[in-house]
Amino acid sequence: MASHLALRDSRDRSIYNKLKNRSFIHTLVLDEVFLCEVGMATELDTIFQFVGWSSFATITELGSKILTTEFLCTLQLIEIGIYFRLFAQEFCFTWRNLSDLLGFLPNTRIDLDEALKDYDTHKF
- Please write the tens of the pLDDT for every residue from 73-86: 899 988 888 999 88
- Going by C-alpha positions, the residue among 65, 51, 63 that lies closest to residue 101 is 51
pLDDT of 79 reads: 86
pLDDT of 2 reads: 63
pLDDT of 11 reads: 87
Contact 91, 83 (CB under 8 A): yes
DSSP state letters, 8-33? -SHHHHHHHHHHTTS------S--HH
Q: pLDDT below 50 — which residues of the chain? A: none
